[in-house]
A = this chain, B = another copy of it.
C-alpha cells in the first residue's frame, strides 16, 4: 500500500477536526443577553479553541514527519493510524465540553478538563505506538540508532505522563490543569523529540524534489 493515500486520508481528518473546533465558539444568538456579554462570558471557549488548534496542528506536523520517513505501509500501521485518528476526531468534542463547563466551575469543570486530558492521553498513546512501529522491521528510510530508542521512548512516556497529570490535577483545580495543557502545546511548538527531528531532517534533504 502506498503512503500517499494514507496521508491524504489523514490530512483530511486532521483538516476537518481542526476546522470543527470553531463550532464551540458559537454564541446562543439574539435574545440571550448582549453579544458583548455572551462573548466575554465564553472566554474559556476561545482559550480552549486556541490550545486545541495548536495541539492538533502539532500532532499533524509530527504525523507528517513520522510518515515521511516510512518506506512501506502495512496493515498494522493502518490500524495504529486509525487509533490515533480516533482520538484526534474526539478533540472538537472534548474542547467543546471544556468550553461549556469550565466557566460554571465546580465538579463539572473538573470532569470536563479530565475528559480533555484523557482524549489527549489517548492520542499520545496512539502516536507513541506508531513511533514504536517505525523502529522495527526496516519500516523507515532513516533508522533511529538503537542506542537512542530508550531516550526517545522516555520522551514519549514523559509526554503521555503529562496528560495523566492533567487528568489528576483537574480534580484539584480545573483551570490550572487546563492551563497546563496550554503550556504543553506551547512547549511542543518550539521543541521536537530527537526521533521526529531526525525524520524531519532526513526529509528536508529531499525537499528539493
Contacts and interface: CB of A to CB of B under 8 A. Distances in A.
Interface of A: 1-3, 5, 7-9, 11-23, 25-27, 29-30, 34-36, 39, 49-50, 53-54, 57, 60-61, 64-65, 68, 71-75, 78-79, 82, 85-86, 89-90, 92-93, 96-97, 100-101, 104, 107-108, 111-112, 115, 189, 200, 203-204, 206-209
- Majority-rule SS of A interface residues: helix
A111 B39 contact: yes
Given A19-B17, A27-B97, A73-B207, A86 B35 contact: no
A75 B197 CA distance: 11
Contacts of A75: 61
Contact of A208 (B71, B74, B92): B71
Given A35-B112, A36-B107, A100-B29, A90 B16 contact: no
Contacts of A29: 100
A23 B91 CA distance: 11
A18 B97 contact: no
Contact of A1 (B25, B65, B71): B65
Contact of A82 (B8, B54, B82): B54
B1 A89 contact: no
A120 to B, nearest CB: 15
A82 B68 contact: no
Given A12-B12, A13-B18, A101-B30, A53 B204 contact: no
A30 to B, nearest CB: 5
Contacts of A97: 26-27, 35
A77 to B, nearest CB: 11
A116 B203 CA distance: 39
Nearest to A2: B207
B53 A2 contact: no
A209 B12 CA distance: 23
A53 B25 contact: no
B72 A204 contact: yes
22 contacts: A1-B68, A1-B207, A2-B203, A2-B206, A5-B11, A5-B64, A9-B14, A9-B60, A12-B12, A12-B15, A16-B20, A18-B85, A25-B93, A26-B97, A30-B104, A34-B111, A35-B97, A36-B107, A39-B111, A54-B82, A57-B78, A74-B204
